Amino acid sequence: MRVLRAFLAAALLGLAPVAAPAQGTAAQPPLLQGGLLTIDPDRLFTQSLFGKRVLADAQSQTEALAAENRQIEAQLTAEEKDLTAKRPKMSPQDFRVEADAFDAKVQDIRKQQDAKERALQDIVTKGREAFFNAARPELGRLMLSRGAVAILDRRSLFLSVAVIDITDAAISAIDNAIGDGAQLDAGQSNGSGSSDTTTQGGSTQSAPVQPSPALNPAPDPATVPATSDPAPATGN
Which has more confidence, 24 or 108?
A: 108
pLDDT of 19 > 90? The answer is: no
Chain segment 94-144, per-residue pLDDT in tens: 999 999 999 999 999 999 999 999 999 899 999 999 999 999 999 999 999
DSSP 20-64: PPPTTSPPPPPP-TTEEEEE-HHHHHHTSHHHHHHHHHHHHHHHH
Q: What pLDDT does 155 receive?
A: 87
pLDDT of 184 > 70? The answer is: yes
- Burial class (CB within 10 angstroms; exposed 0-12, middle 13-18, buried 19+) of 150: exposed
pLDDT of 34 > 90? The answer is: no
Residue 114 lies in a domain: yes
- Backbone φ and ψ for 149, nearest 5 degrees, come out as -115, -10
Residue 12 lies in a domain: no
- Which of 136-145, 158-167, 204-213 has the least mean pLDDT? 204-213
pLDDT band at 208 (very low <50, low <70, confident <90, very high): very low
Residue 95 lies in a domain: yes
Residue 190 lies in a domain: no
Q: Could you give the 3-state DSSP secondary structure of residue 165?
A: strand
The whole-chain average pLDDT of the chain stands at 76
Residue 224 lies in a domain: no
Range of the domain at 90: 54-121
Total number of domains constituting the chain:
1
DSSP assignment, residue 90? S
Distance of CA 18 to the CA centre of its chain: 36
Chain segment 185-199, per-residue pLDDT in tens: 544 544 444 444 443
Chain segment 39-83, per-residue pLDDT in tens: 999 999 999 999 999 999 999 999 999 999 999 999 999 999 999
Residue 93 lies in a domain: yes
Q: What percent of the chain has pLDDT over 90?
A: 56
Residue 211 lies in a domain: no
Return all residues near 111 (Cβ < 8 A) that are at least 6 apart. none
